[in-house]
Amino acid sequence: MSDIKKVVLAYSGGLDTSVIVRWLQDTYNCEVVTFTADIGQGEEVEPARAKAEALGVKEIYIEDLREEFVRDYVFPMFRANTIYEGEYLLGTSIARPLIAKRLIDIANETGADAISHGATGKGNDQVRFELGAYALKPGVKVIAPWREWDLNSREKLLQYCEERDIPVEMKKGKSPYSMDANLLHISYEGINLEDPWAEAEEEMWRWSVSPEAAPNEPTYVELTYKKGDIVAIDGQDMKPHVVLETLNKLAGANGIGRLDIVENRYVGMKSRGCYETPGGTIMLRAHRAIESITLDREVAHLKDSIMPRYAEVIYNGYWWSPEREALQALIDQTQHYVNGTVRLKLYKGNVDVVGRKSEDSLFDEKIATFEEDQGAYDQKDAEGFIKLNALRLRIAAGKGRKL
């Protein structure tokens, strides 16, 4: 007899997790608690309640986490200008620690013995969910059905539903791609995308028009920063999740934010995926712009040097780790003077910085000017500077050393 009496399941209401509810009930003879998070995936989450009730679930958690998601996860990540392998803005990765946290919170609240998720054994999400769970509750039991059952195809899942009278909603026109969405991005995998040579179909994209179909006139937008975070758009104060929602619409309408990459998964394989991150693409460009006038040179270069490590930490699932907290403390320390406004021009897939200003700017027009600077900078000083920096090169060359 199983010692698992109650399990908290990350529940979407879709085919996989609906099967998991019944599979947990049948396999472990346990009570299932469902947790459905609204993190801006663009679909109603409330219907998950009726689906869970139809499966005999008594404790159902449906929560709007959009504000917490952007404020406590997306914004801190963007303070570091984070990208993985030079391109990926970590839209899926950054959502997992919040879901893991709430799974553990609910397990503690309900006295559950275990948590469960619908991530497959081939992907990164299983790692992210479980590393987060173990960091927050070391002794928690994790049940990962995809690593235990033999229902390894859509046909087998549907057959399981039919045999056990599990209601499955077959939506007309549903995308054939494996998709994940939240306020930061939407991802697409599978089908023709499994061939790295095959171009993504135009009909696949959901959040953006193609650059070719974008308006022929540019859109200008001004973003106001306070300590590295956007607090207003065009002078209007906004909460973090409203900032991202607004930028998603602006960017998507201008053909901004599409990405097609082959990435290296933490579990070892390469994976081709397409992503739409409209608002995030703007945020990355604008944040670097405001930092360009407010950050000290060496601080900016230090941030750039640790960013790849920080990105790997998040991608691999170590948000709830001491190294991420240490890196975050350094990153946040650098943001005290990252205040001001950035003006951007959005046009046919491009994000151009056309202005930046700040009361904390380190840009000194008197020194930088090509005109008469009234003695603000003595150009003769450069001779000694160059000679001192060339000293080691001159010594080595004098010894006949070759590069």
* DSSP symbols for 100-118: HHHHHHHHHHHT-SEEE--
Residues 117, 119, 121, 124, Cα dihedral to 10°:
-120
- Would the CA dihedral through 211, 212, 214, 218 be positive or negative? positive
- pLDDT tens digits for 266-309? 999 999 999 999 999 999 999 999 999 999 999 999 999 999 99
Residues 221, 226, 230, 232, Cα dihedral to 10°:
-60
Average pLDDT, the chain: 94
- Domain range list for the chain: 6-76+86-163, 178-295+334-357, 367-398
- In the block, which residue shows the tokens 């879901």? 99
Task: Answer yes or no: is pLDDT of 87 > 90.
Answer: yes
Answer whether CATH 3.40.50.620 is correct for domain 6-76+86-163. Answer: yes
Q: What's this model's pTM, rounded to 2 decimal places?
A: 0.94
User: 3-class DSSP state for residue 264?
Assistant: strand
Provide CATH code, domain 178-295+334-357: 3.90.1260.10
Is 150 one of the annotated active-site residues of the chain?
A: no
- pLDDT tens digits for 99-146? 999 999 999 999 999 999 999 988 999 999 999 999 999 999 999 999
Which helix (H) or strand (E) element contains residue 158?
Answer: helix 154-163
Is 324 one of the annotated active-site residues of the chain?
A: no
Residues 6+ apart with CB under 8 A from 96: 125, 128, 129, 132, 317, 319
Distance CA(216)–CA(195), nearest Å, equals 33
For β-strands 178-181 and 186-189, DSSP reports them as antiparallel
Q: Please pick, among 38, 113, 125, 229, the residue that the annotation labels catalytic.
A: 125
Q: Which residues pair with 181 in a beta bridge?
A: 186
35 neighbors 102 (Cβ within 8 angstroms): yes
Distance CA(55)–CA(188), nearest Å, equals 29
Is 96 one of the annotated active-site residues of the chain?
A: yes
Q: Please pick, among 49, 72, 175, 178, the residue that the annotation labels catalytic.
A: 178
Residues 6+ apart with CB under 8 A from 163: none
Whole-number pLDDT of residue 155:
86
Is 164 one of the annotated active-site residues of the chain?
A: no
Q: Please pick, among 96, 258, 272, 285, the residue that the annotation labels catalytic.
A: 96
Whole-number pLDDT of residue 1:
47
